[in-house]
Chain A
Amino acid sequence: MEQVVIIGAGHAGVQCAASLREGGFSGAITMVAEEEHLPYQRPPLSKDHLGEAPTPLPLRGETFYGDNAVELLSGLTATRIDRDRHEVLLSDGRALPYSALVLATGAQARWLPGVDENHPGVHQIRTLGDAEKLRAALAAAGRAVVVGAGFLGLEFAAVARKKGLDVTVLEGGPRVLGRSVSPEMSAHLATAHEATGIRLRLGEGLASIEFRDHEVEAVVGASGAVYPADLVLLAVGANPRDDLAREAGLEVADGILVDAHLRTSDPAILAIGDCARLSSPAEGSPGRLESVQNATDQARHAAELILGGVEPFGAVPWFWSYQGALRLQIAGVRGPEDATVTIGDVDAGKFSVLSFREGRLTCVESLNRPADHLAARRLLAGDRLPTPGDVAAPDFQLKKFAAGLTPVSD
């Protein structure tokens, strides 16, 4: 009998199990989940979970696993892959045989050298446990320092500020969300966050964290400036969890390398989601993405492949983030040198920034413009893209342009 083993129970792992069953897979499915909780959604951890809706949102209800004959092994880790015997060894000593193995191990928060990871005043957000610890700390803290102005750091900063904390964000780079959005969107978001009272310190790194009587007292910046703090959040990115693959001799390079079908260097083993890196990504794409869309689309693809599919993986990447009251949605991936055109009403905080590489649309960042975002997703999936000339027309609308693609039925 065919036996699929899935390591990891985040969005990618759970979607893969669901898609296998929806596709008619009749073999055994076993999921190895490190955490004891029913597999849950991580994106709310830095948003709703810190505010009014602290209940974790399961990826699927408890009955899903039994109803779909998905064996969920919680609280266990995979310690080794024996590729010759087609077996995964678990932390309880068990060996799980597989005909196909799916690595959906995700990513882990990056720490900074010299920082005490176990100190109760120093936080990260990756797991439900992290978020619960942080929520409790937020209730007691007056001053928060966030290290890193990426999506996670800024989402948290907005939540903390809304709760009335004094918030300072240190960012080593020259602008917020520097690796993720255009300079125009960066500037707008920085201004919006500062208008709520958040202090942004750009070009400022972390030198050390000062403690007194086991409490966090201050963060010392690389510039020597001292930022008083009761609570420190490190939000400086994540590293793919690729150790298990590396130790098994699979090809790894800041992520588990996969081909266009999401196969690793061992064809019986696939890798999906945050932990996987396409070895030959499309031009301009980084090859490894950390997003719900990428996790679930790759999971669906992996399931199709196991069920006999032959198409290579392809999907338009999209992302979202709530930056306080601002709703940021991104379709596509921009390169650092891409030219930009802004459409909409910047002063009203409802606009989109379109990026172009050699005249070809690569990415649309929309702020409080959901119609633009959806149109962009449809457009980027096709070949008929607006040019910088089209976009510059005074009456240009992405939604209207995208509607031109829809075949008219009679």
Chain B
Amino acid sequence: MPTVVFHHPDTPPDVVEADAGTSLMRAAVQRGVRGIVGECGGQAMCATCHVYVHPEYLESLEPIGEDEDEMLEDTAAPRLDNSRLGCQVPLDDALPEIHVDVPQTQV
């Protein structure tokens, strides 16, 4: 069961035990992690599940797709080199743990 640690700007992190096969966004929304909205339901349409992946985990992720790349141009918080959309980050047992920062704003 992959563990996702969501780090917030001002409050203690949320540690979520996610089901393998789900996405980072779904894991967050199911557990009510603040700051992850997922307004479009995981279709890479709304850019409200933006996260900053801690650099040491970036290499383990699938590369950014074209749709995700375009949507990341339109996030509410600035896009950085480690920006991803949570809905496009699948979680599986190959990645037992991942840490991400939740941005200040999504809308």
B9-53 contacts to A, CB under 8 A, are 26, 29-33, 38-46
Which of the 9-residue segments B64-72, B76-84, B93-101 touches chain A?
B64-72
Q: Is B32 in contact with A320, judged by CB distance below 8 angstroms?
A: no
> Which residues of the other chain, B, contact A374 by a CB distance below 8 angstroms?
70-71, 73-74
> Which residues of the other chain, A, contact B33 by a CB distance below 8 angstroms?
61
Most buried by A among B29, B40, B45: B45
> Which residues of the other chain, A, contact B40 by a CB distance below 8 angstroms?
43, 292, 320
> Which residues of the other chain, A, contact B31 by a CB distance below 8 angstroms?
61, 63
Flag whether A329 is at the interface (Cβ < 8 A).
Answer: yes
**A292-B39, A296-B39, A320-B45 known; A57 vs B70 contact (CB < 8 Å):** no
Most buried by B among A11, A41, A61, A322: A61
**A327-B67, A370-B70, A374-B71 known; A61 vs B32 contact (CB < 8 Å):** yes
Flag whether A347 is at the interface (Cβ < 8 A).
Answer: no
Q: Is B42 in contact with A44, judged by CB distance below 8 angstroms?
A: yes
**A57-B38, A292-B40 known; A370 vs B32 contact (CB < 8 Å):** no
Determine how close the nearest CB of chain B comes to the CB of A51; give it in whole angstroms: 12
A-B contact number at CB 8 A: 55
Flag whether A60 is at the interface (Cβ < 8 A).
Answer: yes
Flag whether A383 is at the interface (Cβ < 8 A).
Answer: no
Interface string of A22-58 (1 = CB under 8 A from B): 0000000000000000000101100110000001011
A355-400 contacts to B, CB under 8 A, are 370-371, 374, 377
**A60-B32, A63-B32 known; A41 vs B41 contact (CB < 8 Å):** yes
The number of chain A residues touching the other chain, given as a range, is 20 to 34
Flag whether A283 is at the interface (Cβ < 8 A).
Answer: no
> Which residues of the other chain, A, contact B39 by a CB distance below 8 angstroms?
11, 292, 296
Interface string of A317-333 (1 = CB under 8 A from B): 00010100001010000
CA–CA, A57 to B30, complex, Å?
Answer: 7
Q: Is B42 in contact with A60, judged by CB distance below 8 angstroms?
A: no
> Which residues of the other chain, B, contact A327 by a CB distance below 8 angstroms?
67
> Which residues of the other chain, B, contact A292 by a CB distance below 8 angstroms?
39-41, 46
> Which residues of the other chain, A, contact B46 by a CB distance below 8 angstroms?
292
Flag whether A62 is at the interface (Cβ < 8 A).
Answer: yes
Flag whether A64 is at the interface (Cβ < 8 A).
Answer: yes
Q: Is B66 in contact with A322, judged by CB distance below 8 angstroms?
A: no
> Which residues of the other chain, A, contact B30 by a CB distance below 8 angstroms?
57-58, 61
CA–CA, A371 to B66, complex, Å?
Answer: 9
Flag whether A84 is at the interface (Cβ < 8 A).
Answer: no
Determine how close the nearest CB of chain B comes to the CB of A116; give it in whole angstroms: 31
> Which residues of the other chain, B, contact A47 by a CB distance below 8 angstroms?
43
Flag whether A67 is at the interface (Cβ < 8 A).
Answer: yes
> Which residues of the other chain, B, contact A300 by a CB distance below 8 angstroms?
107
> Which residues of the other chain, B, contact A329 by a CB distance below 8 angstroms?
45
> Which residues of the other chain, B, contact A61 by a CB distance below 8 angstroms?
29-33
CA–CA, A61 to B74, complex, Å?
Answer: 25
Determine how close the nearest CB of chain A comes to the CB of B71; give it in whole angstroms: 7
> Which residues of the other chain, A, contact B66 by a CB distance below 8 angstroms?
370
> Which residues of the other chain, B, contact A296 by a CB distance below 8 angstroms?
39
Determine how close the nearest CB of chain A comes to the CB of B30; give it in whole angstroms: 6
Q: Is B67 in contact with A62, judged by CB distance below 8 angstroms?
A: no
Determine how close the nearest CB of chain A comes to the CB of B84; give it in whole angstroms: 16
CA–CA, A377 to B73, complex, Å?
Answer: 13
Residue of B nearest to A40 (CB): B41
Pairs A-B, 10 closest by C-beta atoms: A61-B32, A370-B70, A63-B32, A41-B41, A44-B41, A320-B45, A371-B70, A374-B74, A64-B32, A370-B67
**Extra pairs beyond A57-B30, A300-B107 (7, CB < 8 Å):** A48-B42, A57-B29, A63-B31, A327-B67, A370-B44, A370-B67, A374-B70
Interchain Cβ contacts under 8 Å between A and B, 5 examples: A57-B26, A61-B33, A63-B31, A292-B41, A327-B67
**Chain A residues packing against B (C-beta within 8 Å):** 11, 41, 43-44, 47-48, 55, 57-58, 60-64, 67, 292, 296, 300, 320, 322, 327, 329, 370-371, 374, 377
